[in-house]
Amino acid sequence: MDDELAQAFGYDSAEHYQLSLEENERVFNKSKDLYNKPPEEWPAIKFNWDYCLESQRHCFDGLSQSEFEKCYPDGLVLGHMPLKEFDKYLCHYSRRDGDELWELGSQSKLAKMIVYLSEDRPISPPIIKPVDNKEVIFQGGHHRYAVAKAIGIKEISLYAYPEHVEKLNKSMKIRWA
């Protein structure tokens, strides 16, 4: 692959593309050992939340920086909430309960997320959207949430669209940054 083609796919260069492929393969190979394992058998995990404006696009799966800037020129709004409290508002098809950890969603994405977080790498918060007066869904971040819930973090960081903050405030007690 040449630099021009790599740049068309969102990479700085062909070398950057190759390094990314190698890193993805390394994480994939490491993650295979985690499938169906309970959290007590995972490596130690720490959420290193990335709140940088340039990283907000990562809360969506596969959105380029230019697409993000076009769709969300003002960025997203950051909030924090106790995870147990947040869970009460999460729509049933976004929530993970008990033994559903490995049954719902993509096992490979979940295992790769565990590896990524165990290496203390930065991660953008999930993004939520209200679906009615009392529930929210994830628009990105199901696996981040699943890992956070599985390891029992006390507070989750969340992103929301600026235009949804008022509606979210009517039912939820999110602390906005």
Domain range annotation of the chain: 1-34, 38-176
- What the block records as the tokens of 43 is 């490596």
**Mean pLDDT across 43-64:** 88
Buried b (16+ CB within 10 A) or exposed e, 86-124: bbebbbeebbbeeeebbeebebeebbbbbbbbbeeeebb
Helix residue spans in 37-103 (DSSP H): 65-71, 83-87
**φ/ψ bin of 141: left (φ > 0), alpha (ψ from -120 to 50), beta (otherwise):** left
Q: Of 109-118, 129-138, 154-163, which gets the smallest average pLDDT?
A: 129-138
pLDDT of 163 strictly over 90:
yes
The CA angle 135-137-143, to the nearest 5 degrees, is 135
| Cβ partners under 8 Å of residue 27, min gap 6 | 112, 115, 116
- Rounded Cα distance between 177 and 157, Å, is 10
- Rounded Cα distance between 41 and 64, Å, is 34
Q: Please state, rounded to an integer, the average pLDDT across all residues of the chain.
A: 90
Angle between helices 142-151 and 107-118 (to 10 degrees): 60
Q: Of 33-37, 130-134, 139-143, 159-163, which gets the smallest average pLDDT?
A: 130-134
Query: Among candidates 126, 116, 140, which has minimal Cα distance to 42?
Result: 116
Which residue type does 149 have?
K
pLDDT of 64 strictly over 90:
no
Find residue 138's DSSP bridge partners. 128
What predicted TM-score, i.e. pTM, was given to this entire model? 0.87
Of residues 85 and 105, more confidently modeled: 85
